[in-house]
Structure 1
Amino acid sequence: MDFLKSAVASAIAKSSSFPYTIGDRIDLDASIWTLSNATKKDDNSPCSIFTFDLNTQRTFVPLAKNAARKLRTIRHPGVIKVLDVIENETHIYIATEKITPLSWHIRRNSLSEETIKRGLYNVARTLAFINGEASSIHGNVRVGAVYTSDSGEWKLAGFETLSSMNDDEAMIYTYGSLVPDSNRYAPPEVASGGGWSVVKKNPLSAPDSFGLGTLLYEAFNGNFPGTDRIAQPGKIPANMVAPYKRLINTNPKLRLSAGHFLEQGKKSGSFFETPLIHIIEGADSLGLKSEEERNQFLAELEELTDDFPEDFFKIKILPELLKSVEFGGGGPQVFSAIIKIGVKMSDEEWEGKLLPVVLRLFASPDRAMRVCLLDNLPAMIDRLPQKDVNNKIFPMMVTGFTDTAPVVREQTVKAVLTVITKLSDRTINGELLRHLAKTANDEQPGIRTNTTICLGKIARSLGASSRAKVLIAAFTRSLRDPFVHARNAALMAFAATADVFSEEDCATKVLPAICASLIDKEKFVRETANKAFDTYANKIKHYAETLPDTAAPAEGAARPATPTRMGNQNDASGWAGWAISSFTNKISTAKGEMNSAPAIPVNGATSTQTRSLPVSGRATPLANPVPDRPATIRLASTTTSQRTSVETPSEAPVDDDVLDAWGEMDDDDDNFFDAPAAAKNNTSTITISTTTPFDDGGEPDFAGWLAAQNKPKAKPPLPKGLSKAANGTSLASRPAAVRTQSAGPGVTAAKKAVPVANKRPVAVAAATKKVDLKPKDDEGGDDDWGAWD
């Protein structure tokens, strides 16, 4: 019959109407209850359930009902939290928070001294409340009545005989001896034959004080031999021996109450003066503390060691810290403590408890909090979903790039290295590069330096279509920075990113930029420049070894008839003749008037070019075709076949404004580090004529020059400006408004179209700058470097 009733009860517990799912059973010491793990069906949260069988334990029914009633009515942090009490015809169910019997930990000897002290502190504080404010006697204080929560706190239960002393018919008087093992743990005055009724003659706290003493003994020594053998303290700490003996005093009137036990333990230097207990007391009121008290609390939190249970921080301390940082003005220090606790949390716990708070804090306008968030990003980034980083965190984070506080801008630049792995390619090559272009020109030299370092480290995350342009422009600008560490950072960044540039870029753009740093005024910059130079020189050398010996066609193939040039020979005289021919051509073009030749059509336009100029149309690499003021003439562009460019295949289109923000490597950046340079409105172009349609690619024509020297000398041309135009009118006699104007300093062998009376353009030789072949005096001529001395 009993088996049938038990089966019916189990079926009821598993029915759909029962709000809990009962799981494994947990072994208990002598008790009228059975304890089982369980889950709540509504949210699958873990819990525990005490079960009492009304049919098989009729003798203990008053104790079970008293325990259920008292657990419902007494609310205290030191009492197990009751979720629900369900009673039917066969069973009483008490659903509580997830708990574990304390006896399990004591038997495994897994409790440290600090943990035991913290537990005893909780139990003593709970008993002080029951004996004082509640005017009641627990009457069943022992290891079997104490449980540990998920946070590691000791929680008091065993309310079978809890009675109010204001009640003349208190439960403990009648049913105190029915509790299992009551004779073993009973106080001496009860065990001596007086029964539980003797508690009326003694202080109300006496029975529970003795029970607290037995709990203290068993917690430190591992087992309870009986009331007659606990006089020897065993492993109890020395500073707790004296109060322990007063707790177990055979005279109930001389026993130390739980409240007095707490007072003695909290005295300066006493046994309850530990960092962990201070945190227990301070966490509940953290939001109400002053800044000084909060700092002291956080300092004590820093002192905690790994001996303390991690669950205590996650479940007990963390919620209070979160409330403090969001609503109590806890500030960055509290958030740093939160992150340290969060490191030991699982991904699910972190996402459920910390992620919502982090997202809200990033929207905070508090600069100190923003800097704290950026500092702690490395500890959080692995827990942050990529979607949240792109859509929520980075849009709020970019405001730091333009913040008025330099520290915020600097920390924002540093944080890019942390979030770069979670950003999309579109965000990196769009918004991020635009902001880094601004910080690369920041007024603070440290921010400019960190931007260079940042670009060097994220180089491989940039899009292939814009990577070389952006990096070369940024690093070459930093090489001209007056701040020495910025120049050094640019050289190191060049060395670290050598593999992302093509060999053509290395030879034509990177190495020329590095060469100027080889004679930097600072020794350590020169040393870094030498290392970077060697890296690129070796790369180019290895690449050159893979190239064919010559690009000339094989013997027997048809070759175009070209004049013999001494510059193509390999002997020393040829090399010298090349240099002389080059200078001779420049000097000859500076004299007299250049002969006009038929224009070569280029993309629908007309373009002419002299044989002594390179394809670019410049006489020398230093020539600046930009006039001093806007002009109406245009520079003829070369044909597509004449242009040579090396580009990395692009993976995705990049906005033009992003690339324009970085500018070109050869831009005029004299005022780059003073203020953002204004966009130059350069609408002037120059038309360059050539004497013959043959394009020699800018190679010096030394043989042609020799042939010209042997010809009969022709009549010297008229001086510049006095030659007659097609209609026979001298240019010198015309108004100044239609005369040829200089195209600006540095422009050589240039011609401009000048309007005439019949509205036909006339090619007039522009003034040229003579080449000074004398060595220059180096004093005061350090190029642009002198500006930063």
Structure 2
Amino acid sequence: MQYFQKLIQKDLGFTYTLNEPVVSHDRAEIWALHRGTSKETGDPALVLHFEASKSRPGLSQKQNLAKTGLMRLKTLRHPDVLKYLTSVEGSDGTIYAAVEDATPLATILANSPSKLDREAMQWGLFTISRALGFLHSSGLIHGRLNSSTVFVTPTGDWKLGGLECVTQHTQAATLSQHAASLQDHSYQSPEFSSGRWSSVAAGAPSAVDSWALGCLMFHVHAGSLTAPDQLQNMAALPKPLLSAYQKLLASNAAARAPAGQLPNHPYFKASKFIELNLFVENIALKGPLEREAFMSKLPAMMDRLPDGFCTFKILPMLSQSIESGAGGSSAFSCVMKTKDRLSIQDFAKIVVKKYAVLWFSNQQIDRGLKVELYNNLNIFVEHMDDSDVNSTIFNSMASAFQDMQAPALRDAAVKSVLVISDRLTDKNLNSVLMSHFARLQVDPEPAIRTNTTVCLGKLAPRLSSTARNKVLAAAFLRSLKDPFPHARAAGINAILATTEYYSVKDMATRLLPSIVTLLIDSSDEVRTAAFTVVAKFQEKLSRNHEEMLRAEESTTEVSNGGRSTNSSTTRAGSTGWGLSSFSSMAAALVSTKSESGAHANKSTGISSEDFKRGRPVPTTSANGPEVTHNKPVAQMASSNVKTNDPWDATSGSSSSVPPAFSSVPLPVGGMSQAVPQNTNLGMGSFGDMGNGLGDDDDADGWGDMDIKSESKPLDDEDLFVSMMGQPKAKPTSVPRGMTTSNSNSSSIKSSGEDGLWDLAPPKVNRPKPRAVARPAAGLGSTSAARRTKKTSGNDDWEALLGGTTSKRRTTGRSGAR
């Protein structure tokens, strides 16, 4: 075998490879049959090989017959004659001829445990009679018709072969040279077996072949034919066919029915299978209405048709109908029925690679058929190469995404993306597909928007990290604003399914603000899903909070050289909003005021109003008056924190911090009268510091404080005095960098506490602005400072921090005065 293959490839240039041999059961033994495959296309074929070996008996006669048979194959072209493909001849007389893929009928009958199907026999005898009629009409005699010269194609068609003895009717006498040795004895007519060639030439051209056709009819129905005596047993034949059988086997050659007239017999005309075959053969000549009527009836008949007929004859016809758009969904349903008839290998080779790939690439196919293709894509794609998926299938989907005239097609294409997602290249998946999904998320059809979100959530594990960070949160946040309830529910469920891909920052700042609004959604499904996501996010953020606390404690222990530190005190000091400098200044003022008040006023009482406002409560001890602060224990713990503020005159010493600057904000009543309306940093500075929100109003719950308007703005010291209580005497010392004015003391009223609100603001000589240490992480002072720059120039808090110039502040005080 290897020798022959090398010989064909190098010397003869035969374009087919020889595979396994095929048993022919031909007594002539002229050709050796092999399965062959085209080197160019891979299509199967049947290879006829004649070996010119000197050891073969009757070499010259058989070589002449082989050349005659090859010449007849080339010249006789008919649908019912074995189709010639190519051939080569060697200088030594070796011949290789390739014909269409087929199997000798004798081989099928010998290997089949049961008889052939009735429809297959009807169509086979019909086609052989047509081929004989073609020869007889041309004045030719076949002369060697038997089961070994009839070939059956994969489509179920019977083709006439064995053309070595084909001669002109007028030259029938030449058959005597070799016909008797080549034709099967059971198929020889009486005049043929007796050698009366003159009567053959004088009779009708069809006489010899009509007898052989009657013998073939008996052979296929009975299953075997070994002797002419068996022809008298007609029990195996169908009764409607007996009349034709008897006329073909008439002993008088002149009375025999012509073989070419057999198709006109009522038995064959009544066959629905023959009618179906004839319609398929001539479907190109049928009108649109006839084709549509035929396609509508075909699905119901598919289960009763032979497998080979459905696979190799109906399927090409269906493919042609699909490509032309004439078959509709009926053609595709017939295609899907052929899947159950074929093995996995045959389905991949015959249906998928030969037809299905072309269907997806054809832009002229009806949209309804493309919807069916996308809905059944999982059946085809597993048999396709990655190159076909990324080029043909994906490009077809991209075109479907942009087809605005077919919503059903867009929706089917979106849902079928999941079938090929694991086969797509990185560019197609993370770039091209995501750009299409971005447009599909704003599609006019709500169902398409919903399915796009669902599909994107399922694709998240297959996307690259860059694509996930760029696409997921933005896409799902867009879906949360969709007016279609199911689209919103799909967005929330997608967020829940992809929680692992979001950072805690994205959860807190991007996703949660939008999800929380859906807790009061009109759809119950949306609300339920929103509560689930919020609970999931809260759990994850809580774990992150605990991790941050442990990290802070570890950092504190390392910075203290391993010494133990009270974690509550540390956390309380870290939540002072970056106002350690204020605490130091307040401590200095309280200390000075307490000393001067002890000499100016020996009273140890305090009013209830002072207690409510958190003013220091004077007490008397053996060593003199002391100041006790009315505040909780937590505040007392936080007030003992040491500071290293350059504004603090007593930096490094332990001092008591007034309640106004402790880690616990003041009560609302204590601040409501101290903050003017034209200042944007009143209680809002305390409540909104670090949450990234803008100015709030009564509508969202942050503007329910009764902030009274004042006729003049308060400066730094006014705000200090209003919080600390009225001093009984002028302070003897002030923090570094601040000087008092004589006008301030003259403006103090003697009418009690109410005179504190009429004090003129002190003049402040502020040093040059300096860099302020960044506050503790998570306290939000950056966003607060950003909002501070946008507020008016009368910002007392920023003036104390040195963030504004004194020029604008001086103008404000002069106007107030």
Whether the TM-score (by the shorter chain) exceeds 0.5 is yes
Partners of 2:104 and 2:151 within 8 A in 1:
yes
Structure 1 residue 74 displacement after superposition = 1.2
Counterpart in the other structure of 1:79: 81
1:17 maps to which of 11, 14, 25: 11
Q: Provide the C-alpha distance between the structure 1 equivalents of 2:673 and 2:235, rounded to a whole number of angstroms.
A: 111
Counterpart in the other structure of 1:290: 287
- Indicate yes or no: 2:57 matched with 1:56: yes
Counterpart in the other structure of 1:738: none
Q: What SS does the corresponding residue of 1:465 show, helix, strand or coil?
A: helix
Q: What SS does the corresponding residue of 1:140 show, helix, strand or coil?
A: coil
Q: What SS does the corresponding residue of 1:230 show, helix, strand or coil?
A: helix
Partners of 2:144 and 2:165 within 8 A in 1:
yes
Structure 1 residue 48 displacement after superposition = 1.0
Q: Provide the C-alpha distance between the structure 2 equivalents of 1:125 and 1:434, rounded to a whole number of angstroms.
A: 60
Partners of 1:150 and 1:315 within 8 A in 2:
yes
Partners of 1:619 and 1:748 within 8 A in 2:
no
Q: Provide the C-alpha distance between the structure 1 equivalents of 2:227 and 2:21, rounded to a whole number of angstroms.
A: 28
Counterpart in the other structure of 1:304: 302
1:27 maps to which of 9, 23, 30: 23
Change (3 A) 1:585 1:10: same
Change (3 A) 1:13 1:424: closer
Deviations along 1:307-354, one digit per CA (max 9) or x if unpaired, are 7345x6665555555556557976776677668769764767678744
Correspondence 1:483-522 to 2 at 5 A: 483-502=484-503, 505=506, 510=511, 513-514=514-515, 516-517=517-518, 519-522=520-523
What is the one-letter code of the residue matched to 2:24?
L
Correspondence 1:46-125 to 2 at 5 A: 46-51=45-50, 56-57=57-58, 58=60, 63-82=65-84, 83-84=86-87, 86=89, 94-109=97-112, 111-125=116-130
Q: Provide the C-alpha distance between the structure 1 equivalents of 2:208 and 2:297, rounded to a whole number of angstroms.
A: 36
Normalized per residue, the structure richer in helix is: 2
Q: What SS does the corresponding residue of 1:456 show, helix, strand or coil?
A: helix
Q: What SS does the corresponding residue of 1:72 show, helix, strand or coil?
A: helix
Partners of 2:210 and 2:259 within 8 A in 1:
yes
Q: Provide the C-alpha distance between the structure 2 equivalents of 1:622 and 1:453, rounded to a whole number of angstroms.
A: 38
Q: Provide the C-alpha distance between the structure 1 equivalents of 2:354 and 2:464, rounded to a whole number of angstroms.
A: 36
Deviations along 1:499-549, one digit per CA (max 9) or x if unpaired, are 444566556655665555555444455555566666667777888898878
What is the one-letter code of the residue matched to 2:418?
L
Deviations along 1:294-316, one digit per CA (max 9) or x if unpaired, are 33454465443497345x66655
Q: Could you tell me the TM-score, scaled by structure 2's length?
A: 0.62
Q: What SS does the corresponding residue of 1:31 show, helix, strand or coil?
A: coil
Partners of 1:68 and 1:85 within 8 A in 2:
no
- Indicate yes or no: 2:398 matched with 1:398: yes
Structure 1 residue 86 displacement after superposition = 3.3
Counterpart in the other structure of 1:776: none
Counterpart in the other structure of 1:162: 166
Counterpart in the other structure of 2:180: 177
Q: Could you tell me the TM-score, scaled by structure 1's length?
A: 0.64
Counterpart in the other structure of 1:128: 133
Structure 1 residue 150 displacement after superposition = 5.1
Counterpart in the other structure of 1:557: 565
Q: Provide the C-alpha distance between the structure 1 equivalents of 2:448 and 2:65, rounded to a whole number of angstroms.
A: 73
Counterpart in the other structure of 2:679: 594
Q: Provide the C-alpha distance between the structure 2 equivalents of 1:609 and 1:522, rounded to a whole number of angstroms.
A: 35
Deviations along 1:66-101, one digit per CA (max 9) or x if unpaired, are 434433321112222232363766556554344432
Correspondence 1:450-599 to 2 at 5 A: 450-467=451-468, 470-502=471-503, 505=506, 510=511, 513-514=514-515, 516-517=517-518, 519-526=520-527, 556-557=564-565, 562=573, 591-594=676-679
Counterpart in the other structure of 1:601: none
Change (3 A) 1:444 1:27: closer
Change (3 A) 1:403 1:373: same
Partners of 1:63 and 1:161 within 8 A in 2:
yes
Deviations along 1:742-787, one digit per CA (max 9) or x if unpaired, are xxxxx99972359xxx99767999xxxxxxxxxxxxxxxxxxxxxx
Deviations along 1:396-433, one digit per CA (max 9) or x if unpaired, are 64344343313343333334323423333334333332
Change (3 A) 1:114 1:491: farther
Q: What SS does the corresponding residue of 1:143 show, helix, strand or coil?
A: coil
Structure 1 residue 143 displacement after superposition = 0.7
Counterpart in the other structure of 1:414: 415
Partners of 2:126 and 2:262 within 8 A in 1:
no
Structure 1 residue 63 displacement after superposition = 4.8
What is the one-letter code of the residue matched to 1:398?
A
Deviations along 1:355-386, one digit per CA (max 9) or x if unpaired, are 87357514x59756655654454344334444
Aligned length: 630
Structure 1 residue 200 displacement after superposition = 4.7
Partners of 1:753 and 1:763 within 8 A in 2:
no
Correspondence 1:734-753 to 2 at 5 A: 751-752=791-792
Structure 2: unaligned runs, 5 residues or longer: 558-562, 577-630, 637-662, 701-712, 728-752, 765-786, 795-804, 813-817
Change (3 A) 1:396 1:10: closer
Counterpart in the other structure of 1:263: 264
Q: Provide the C-alpha distance between the structure 2 equivalents of 1:89 and 1:551, rounded to a whole number of angstroms.
A: 96
Structure 1 residue 107 displacement after superposition = 1.6
Partners of 1:190 and 1:198 within 8 A in 2:
no
Partners of 2:291 and 2:326 within 8 A in 1:
no
Once the two structures are overlaid, the 10-residue window that deviates more, 338-347 or 20-29, is: 338-347
Deviations along 1:39-65, one digit per CA (max 9) or x if unpaired, are 589748754124275862156666555
Counterpart in the other structure of 1:449: 450
Q: Provide the C-alpha distance between the structure 2 equivalents of 1:425 and 1:623, rounded to a whole number of angstroms.
A: 51
Structure 1 residue 128 displacement after superposition = 2.6
Q: Which has the higher contact order (CA 8 A, sep 6+)?
A: 1
Q: What SS does the corresponding residue of 2:564 show, helix, strand or coil?
A: coil
What is the one-letter code of the residue matched to 1:84?
S
Deviations along 1:108-164, one digit per CA (max 9) or x if unpaired, are 2165444444433332322232233x2333232211111234555322112233233
Structure 1: unaligned runs, 5 residues or longer: 1-6, 570-577, 598-607, 626-688, 693-703, 727-746, 766-789
1:142 maps to which of 143, 146, 150: 146
Change (3 A) 1:438 1:235: same
Once the two structures are overlaid, the 10-residue window that deviates more, 424-433 or 138-147, is: 424-433
Correspondence 1:680-695 to 2 at 5 A: none
Q: Provide the C-alpha distance between the structure 2 equivalents of 1:39 and 1:11, rounded to a whole number of angstroms.
A: 11
- Indicate yes or no: 2:40 matched with 1:37: no
Structure 1 residue 473 displacement after superposition = 3.6
What is the one-letter code of the residue matched to 1:592?
Q
Partners of 1:417 and 1:454 within 8 A in 2:
yes
Counterpart in the other structure of 2:588: none
Structure 1 residue 440 displacement after superposition = 1.3
Q: Provide the C-alpha distance between the structure 2 equivalents of 1:446 and 1:437, rounded to a whole number of angstroms.
A: 15
Once the two structures are overlaid, the 10-residue window that deviates more, 48-57 or 134-143, is: 48-57
Partners of 1:610 and 1:691 within 8 A in 2:
no
Counterpart in the other structure of 1:633: none
What is the one-letter code of the residue matched to 1:135?
G
Change (3 A) 1:16 1:385: closer
Partners of 1:206 and 1:257 within 8 A in 2:
yes
Partners of 1:287 and 1:330 within 8 A in 2:
no
| Bigger Rg, structure 1 or 2 | 2
Partners of 1:401 and 1:439 within 8 A in 2:
yes
What is the one-letter code of the residue matched to 2:78?
H
Partners of 1:12 and 1:18 within 8 A in 2:
no
Change (3 A) 1:144 1:461: same
Partners of 1:725 and 1:762 within 8 A in 2:
no
Q: What SS does the corresponding residue of 2:80 show, helix, strand or coil?
A: coil
Counterpart in the other structure of 2:657: none
